[in-house]
Amino acid sequence: MYARRVSMQLKPNKTAEFTQTLEEKILPLLRKQKGFQDELAFIGTDGTTAFGVSLWDKTESAETYGRETFPAVIKMLSTVVEGTPKVSNYEVCNSTFHKIAAKATV
């Protein structure tokens, strides 16, 4: 399993709009992507930062999404996010939520 972490700075007073955009526009788009497994989204307690972790069946699926669809997601977020979101990629080594155990590639 593979994970993409997208961190971002929210514009002031935009947490409700961020959540609405995620639920109404981004999640439906993600669900259509080949290999998409799940999305976890977090907003900092001060309401100024957020990050999302998307889980994918394999690296190739996440990379295809990153190239072909993620630019449209960035555009959808432009009304609620300051600057450009930062993307980090990871191999999932364990998840109790998905009941998987993946070997760490160390």
**Degrees to nearest 5, angle at CA 65 with 57 and 7:** 95
pTM reported for the whole predicted model: 0.86
**Which tens digit of pLDDT belongs to each residue from 20-71?**
999 999 999 999 999 999 999 999 999 999 999 999 999 999 999 999 999 9
Please, are residues 2 and 58 in contact by the beta-carbon 8 Å criterion?
Answer: yes
In a domain, residue 76? The reply is yes
pLDDT of residue 62: 95
Please, are residues 29 and 73 in contact by the beta-carbon 8 Å criterion?
Answer: yes
What is the rounded average pLDDT of the residues 77-104?
82
Split into its structural domains, the chain has a count of 1
CATH number at residue 47: 3.30.70.100
In a domain, residue 106? The reply is no
* CA dist., res. 101 & res. 106, Å (int): 15
In a domain, residue 86? The reply is yes
In a domain, residue 17? The reply is yes
3-12, 45-54, 77-86, 87-96 — which is least confidently predicted?
Answer: 87-96
Question: What is the domain range of residue 74?
Answer: 2-101
